[in-house]
Chain A
Amino acid sequence: MPEVLDARRMPEMELAYAIETRDLTRRFGKKVVVDHLNLRVPRGSIFAFLGRNGAGKTTAIRMLLDLLNPTDGEATLLGLDSVKGARDIRRRTGYVAQDEAMYDWMTVDRMIWFCRGFYPTWDDALAADLRRQLDLPGSQRIRALSRGKQAQLALLLAMAFRPELLILDEPTAGLDVVVRREFLEGVIELAQEEGRTIFFSSHLVHEVERVADWVGIMEEGKLLYCAPLEELKASVRRIVCTFPEPPPTPELPGLLRAEVEGKTLLCTVRDFGEATLAAARALNPTALAVEDLSLEDIFVALVGKGAV
């Protein structure tokens, strides 16, 4: 199991956090679904909360939004306690749930009108702009919309009151590739206009690489990694060593994964640095190369089978 790099170990940065959790834990019976989660989401960031299905992402989000009581620990959103300040948090936070259950008997316009009544900061002009941009048919009932359009409507409703924080729980699940890409690009475009924080969970890692600037990776309820995406990509690298003979068993610092392809040894390491490189050279390869990894490769190296 790799060493956990969580927020407590991160260097202090001059950032205020939109989301901060302290030992947030949730158990269902004996099963620990979220295990002492310590998470810090910087304001203004686009934070991708990654993990496999069942990793505890949705449970963590439900606790953040006071939809589920934590067994232990606490969380603050926008500086407010997630339980005591739940109502204020909702006033300032947009949320798109996984498989959003809207009132599907309403038309799009009626749904927009309905939601408008709950938010003092609702911006009619923004809602109209978003509806036009997203090409949502106002007179159509929600149940008649495609899943992609329903997700877009949910996003509209979550954004039209100009929230400071936008939480999206698997917003692209069930959407096809094209719609997924359009949706994510739309989110980023809209969000960046006002510099709001976006926190979104996903298990489709390759989709988020293009939009996220921070990444948190969860596995079995625990936070494995939490860092800026570039830092993560710089930290986790692949060292490719070629040998004249079958490769020896590697002993590298921060080794996450080792694979052998013929006479080539592929080692994925974390905390890549001179020490790692020196250790690789000590294996006496005939050739040595260092490769950058995609976020998906990093994710697999961190949580996939075969991880050292």
Chain B
Amino acid sequence: MMRALGRLLWKELWVGWPFALLGAALPPLTALLIRREVDILDIPPGNVTLFLVLLGLVAWAALQGAGTRDRCSYAGIHFPIHPARPALVTFVMQLLFALGIVGGYLLALYLLRDFGVLSGPLSTRVLNGEIRTMLQGDITRHFLITAFLAIGSTYALCFVVGQALSAPAGIVVGVFWVIFGIGEGLGPLSFGWVLHGYDLNMNERMPFLQVAMTAAALLAFGVLLTRLAFPVRRLLACLLLGAVAVGMPAYFWYEDSRAKWEYDVIYWGEVDSSDGALRLEIVPTGENIRDAVGLRLTDYRRDAQTTRPFPRPLAPTAVLDSGMVFLLSQPRGATTVTLLRWDTAADTVEEICAIPSEKGLMTSQRMRYYDPSVNPLMHVGPDGAHALLLLPTQVGDGEDLWHVDLVRKRARLVRPARWIISETVSWTDDAAILSDNGEPLRVDLRAGTAAPMPVARRER
């Protein structure tokens, strides 16, 4: 038995070593060529090399898979061993070769860098993408994760498709897989955004997709080695791979859409009152997270808490020392945002006014996380009768400054489309002065106008 296994291993070594050697030699050769100012497309060269290596791997895996198809290899047909064993040995050995190629590729780049071959601007270019990412973290961890998942999933996928269908089918699927499945960091060749939208954080899920694809490919490979009729085996293998290839991205889309709902409250941690005695925070409501969010006000002085659910999307803007909470809400599809006042003592909610706004202002369309450009800022006067509210503008860049008359329940736009960075507001009977932004801005609360405040220069 061991002698037979030895023969099979010998065969794989004999077949595979030129491929492994070529793969290991290709990256430094390419890098050196690039060093000679040979421009390949306009793509980060390190990634081009990796891409080429992966394409070589795809072709090889698909051919190897097709070669073991339907127990048709010489060893599988003739020798008194389990027909699956030659295919298994081929699979494992070729997978090891593939991993060795990536190892050789990375090692070559490190060596070239250490010897100063990759210096200057080229270093930045070559080490872009995957390599840069790897250099920034723990090398071993990144090597194991990136190399094993990317190469393992690619090899397994192409081998199985090659075995189940044909070598060309394996190559086509493999090329798509390289571009879409592991195309992160392959520069312009990456079409990962098709899968991920604009949310780069989705990249974190790629390892899961690769793990799932590897597992599905291994399972499909197992199916192909069973005694089921070949069309059935082929069908099952394709179903398995197809389910993962289509299902996982679809699942990510679904998860992402849920996550979007989850984050459509403009992110904030906690809001404290100015005296620090009150704290407002988000709590689980126990209801459908897509529809409602719970707000809890903790009064440390009285050691009391008040919790109330609010419809999404929602953005808390201010907590007064009196326990009054101001919130912005925007029904889906509405072109206004509504300013709400939650009297936590009486636990009543009152609508103050509706302010014209961009549709979907409070719903994060592309970003799952906090976007400071849509963070509303509200300052409430000490008498509780006036407030200033900063909202993202509807036209151009900057923010609109709104004056809200909390007694008459109306809002007036006092300064549109300007960048106003103000943490400090001083209040008088008839005006509010925003400072900290270089030039103080005076808002006339009666006239509803705003103008820069001239600053008297002190004579020396």
Residues of chain A at the chain B interface (Cβ within 8 Å): 65-67, 69, 83, 87-88, 90-91, 95, 97, 100-103, 105, 114-115, 117-119, 157-158
Contacts and interface: CB of A to CB of B under 8 A. Distances in A.
Interface string B9-30: 0110011000000000000000
A101 B74 contact: yes
Contacts of B81: 87, 118
Contact of A118 (B4, B72, B227): B4
B71 interface: yes
Contacts of B14: 105
A91 B78 contact: no
B74 A103 contact: yes
A235 B27 CA distance: 74
Given A87-B82, A91-B80, A69 B229 contact: yes
Contacts, number: 50
A96 B355 CA distance: 86
Interface string B276-287: 000000000000
Q: Which label, helix, strand, loop or mixed, suits the secondary structure of the B interface?
A: helix
B239 interface: no
Contacts of B228: 69
Given A87-B82, A117-B6, A65 B77 contact: yes
B457 interface: no
B15 A118 contact: no
Contacts of A102: 74
A100 B77 CA distance: 10
A69 B231 CA distance: 12
B78 A101 contact: no
Contacts of B115: none
B229 A105 contact: no
A117 B10 CA distance: 11
Contacts of B83: 66-67
B332 interface: no
B3 interface: yes
A206 to B, nearest CB: 29
Nearest to B73: A101
A115 B80 CA distance: 11
A157 B79 CA distance: 11
Most chain A Cβ neighbours within 10 Å, of B7, B74, B82: B74
A153 to B, nearest CB: 12
Nearest to B226: A69
A104 to B, nearest CB: 10
B7 A118 contact: yes
Interface string B37-75: 000000000000000000000000000000000011111
A94 to B, nearest CB: 8
B82 A67 contact: no
A102 B81 CA distance: 17
Nearest to A71: B229
B80 A118 contact: yes
B77 A118 contact: no
A88 B7 contact: no
A157 B75 CA distance: 12
Interface of B: 3-4, 6-7, 10-11, 14-15, 71-75, 77-83, 227-229
Contacts of A105: 14-15
Contacts of A88: 80
B227 A69 contact: yes
A118 B74 contact: no
A117 B72 contact: no
B229 to A, nearest CB: 6
A101 B74 CA distance: 6
B80 A101 contact: no
A95 B3 contact: no
A103 B14 CA distance: 11
A113 B68 CA distance: 22
Nearest to B229: A69
Contacts of A118: 3-4, 7, 75, 78-81
Contacts of B229: 69
A95 B77 contact: yes
12 contacts: A83-B227, A88-B80, A95-B77, A95-B78, A101-B72, A105-B15, A114-B7, A114-B10, A115-B79, A118-B78, A118-B79, A118-B80
A87 B83 CA distance: 9
A90 B11 contact: no
Given A90-B79, A117-B6, A118-B81, 14 more contacts: A83-B227, A88-B80, A90-B80, A95-B77, A95-B78, A97-B77, A103-B74, A105-B14, A105-B15, A117-B3, A117-B4, A118-B7, A118-B78, A118-B80
Given A69-B229, A103-B74, A119 B80 contact: yes
A65 B227 CA distance: 13
Contacts of A91: 80
Given A69-B227, A97-B77, A117 B15 contact: no
Contacts of A114: 7, 10-11
Given A117-B3, A118-B7, A87 B77 contact: no
Contacts of A90: 78-80
B77 A67 contact: yes
Nearest to A157: B78
A103 B80 contact: no
A278 to B, nearest CB: 52
A150 to B, nearest CB: 12
A304 B81 CA distance: 41
Cβ-closest 6 pairs across A and B: A117-B7, A91-B80, A90-B80, A118-B79, A117-B3, A118-B4
Most chain A Cβ neighbours within 10 Å, of B72, B74, B78, B228: B78
A143 to B, nearest CB: 14
A185 B11 CA distance: 33
Contacts of A115: 78-79
Nearest to A158: B78
Nearest to B71: A67
A162 B238 CA distance: 42
A87 B80 contact: yes
A14 B439 CA distance: 117
Contacts of A103: 11, 74
Most chain B Cβ neighbours within 10 Å, of A67, A102, A118: A118
Contacts of A157: 78
A115 B74 CA distance: 10
A158 to B, nearest CB: 8
A118 B14 CA distance: 18
Nearest to B6: A117
